[in-house]
Amino acid sequence: MSKPRVVLVVGTRPDAIKTLPVVIALRNDPSFETILVSTGQHREMLQQVFDTFGVQPDRDLELMKHGQSLGELTGRMSLALDELFKELKPQFVLAQGDTTTTFVAGLSAFYHQIPFGHVEAGLRTHNVFDPFPEEFNRQAVGLFATHHYAPTELSASNLRREHVSDEKIFITGNTGIDAVLMVAEREPQTWFPDHKGRVVLMTMHRRENWGEPMTACAKAARQLIDEHEDTLLAVPMHRNPIVREVLEKELGNHPRIHLIEPPEYARFTKLIQRSNLILTDSGGVQEEAPSFGIPILVLRNTTERPEGVDAGCATLIGTDPAALLTHGRELLNDPSRYAAMSQVKSPYGEGKASQQIVEAIRNYFA
Ligand code: UD1
Ligand code: UDP
């Protein structure tokens, strides 16, 4: 009997970070034929992750264009994946999370009536416009997935509320934790050897924060750094020119603010570990930082990852600059609040999610 052909589709940086541990686990099981497809929704930021894990895609659709709109990216990707699925005839398709790549991979699998496994399933804000368009993408693939790999009990309960039957839900932990633990101790700590003080790490890229919210947060972060002379602000800039323009304008030309190119994943993980405080609108960073006990202020109005907020390792502060300053000052000056946030156990898993996903697929074909 031929081996089941499992196709995993990635396109963005977080897709690859959270999917490659599953690819590695599947490739260790000779009973599967594992094919990694890249849509190339991202380019440099995605290639960095393939290089970090030493895994290259078997097929690359190379779709990224500068300034791509959601509609045209979705259209081009849909055509390309339709052709590829006709050729490859996968028996199972997997994708993670909430990106355009995930949505279109799911939709294409649905049109071809191929079973679809959703990695990082069940995260919800219940506001389809926030995060935009990610909440829609996640909910949409949840309508037809054959397997939902929920990272936590809360995400599983969201799925049950949407009448997903129990036998389709697998609570696995988040594969992003598998990834971060794979690379965490790979390199020595080399960040800012001449800086003896504290490091604040900031990343922002989300569509709903483009423009005014990002400008306001950047200004407030600059003020926070000005007020605390022992601090340094590290700002890895997403490659999107819309994001970079704001960050360069508001945070440039400051002796203690480092605007840097996005470090590759193992080095970025070292930067998280070197940090004392994180300001971010990233999904993945919200999950990774608690593994290292670093408090997070979430620069968003909603989060589909309330587990960290409920556990106490993250605070959802929105994008009001006054809130950023209030919470930032408190964390930099109040040791008891800092200790309370940094001593929380991560709610996102212990790094064994990929194995559990492979086990679920094995049982599916048994
Ligand atoms: C996408 C995801 C978002 C995820 C983010 C991770 C969607 C709708 N959004 O948003 O959920 O949080 O990735 O980073 O899928 N660019 C480059 N090089 C790269 C990557 C991007 O130059 O390696 C530039 C290009 O000009 C591109 C633009 O960034 O057109 C935007 O990329 P896109 O994937 O459309 O959106 P993101 O904001 O990255
Ligand atoms: N990341 C990275 N280099 C960077 C910034 C982020 O490797 O300069 C990693 C980060 O550790 C996390 C992932 O990229 O695993 C998150 O990507 P991003 O914030 O772009 O997307 P999101 O998680 O918000 O969808």
Strands of the 92-96 sheet, one edge to the other: 59-60, 33-38, 5-10, 92-96, 116-119, 147-150, 169-171
The answer to whether the CB of 266 falls within 8 A of the CB of 250 is no
Q: Is the peptide bond before 133 cis (omega within 30 degrees of 0)?
A: yes
The answer to whether the CB of 280 falls within 8 A of the CB of 198 is no
What is the structure's pLDDT at 237?
98
Which atom belonging to ligand 2 lies closest to the Cα atom of 280? 19
* 258, 285, 292, best to mutate for ligand 2 pocket (most atoms within 8 Å of CB): 285
Going by pLDDT thresholds of 50, 70 and 90, the confidence category of residue 326 is very high
What's the gap in Å between 14 CA and the centre of ligand 2?
Answer: 6
pLDDT at 1 over 80: no
Question: Which whole number is the average pLDDT over 295-308?
Answer: 97
* 10, 12, 13, 130, best to mutate for ligand 2 pocket (most atoms within 8 Å of CB): 13
Tokens of 193: 């050897």
Q: Where are the domains of the chain?
A: 5-173+351-365, 191-342
pLDDT tens for 55-86 read: 999 999 999 999 999 999 999 999 999 999 99
Q: In the CATH scheme, what architecture does the domain 5-173+351-365 have?
A: 3-Layer(aba) Sandwich (3.40)
pLDDT tens for 305-319 read: 999 999 999 999 999
What is the sign, positive or negative, of the torsion defined by CA atoms of 242, 245, 248, 249? negative
pLDDT tens for 343-355 read: 999 999 889 999 9
Going by pLDDT thresholds of 50, 70 and 90, the confidence category of residue 108 is very high
Question: Which whole number is the average pLDDT over 2-31?
Answer: 97
Tokens of 150: 């929920």
Q: Which amino acid is located at 183 in the chain?
A: V
The answer to whether the CB of 355 falls within 8 A of the CB of 106 is no
Ligand 2 neighbours by CB, cut-off 6 Å: 13-14, 17, 176, 203, 205, 236, 262-263, 265, 268, 282-285, 288
What's the gap in Å between 73 CA and the centre of ligand 1?
Answer: 11
Ligand 1 neighbours by CB, cut-off 6 Å: 12-14, 41-46, 64, 66-68, 70, 73, 98-100, 133-134, 205, 238-240
DSSP 305-333: -HHHHHHTSEEE-TT-HHHHHHHHHHHHH
Going by pLDDT thresholds of 50, 70 and 90, the confidence category of residue 293 is very high
Ligand 1: residue whose CA is nearest its atom 2: 99
Give the Cα separation of 62 and 303 in Å (integer): 31
pLDDT tens for 164-189 read: 999 999 999 999 999 999 999 898 99
Percentage of the chain beyond pLDDT 70 is 100
The answer to whether the CB of 320 falls within 8 A of the CB of 216 is yes
Q: Which amino acid is located at 232 in the chain?
A: L
Length of the chain: 366
Task: Enumerate residues 6+ apart whose C-beta is below 8 A from 200.
Answer: 221, 224, 225, 231, 232, 233, 234, 275, 276, 277, 278, 279, 328
Q: Active-site residues: which are they?
A: 98, 120, 134, 205, 207, 238
Provide the CB-side half-sphere exposure for 358 (13 A, CA).
21
Give the Cα separation of 337 and 243 in Å (integer): 31
What's the gap in Å between 65 CA and the centre of ligand 1?
Answer: 10
Give the Cα separation of 328 and 334 in Å (integer): 10
CATH number of the domain located at residue range(s) 191-342 in this protein = 3.40.50.2000
Average model confidence (pLDDT) for the chain? 97
Same fold, 5-173+351-365 and 191-342: yes
What is the structure's pLDDT at 2?
85
Tokens of 317: 């502060």
What's the gap in Å between 187 CA and the centre of ligand 2?
Answer: 18
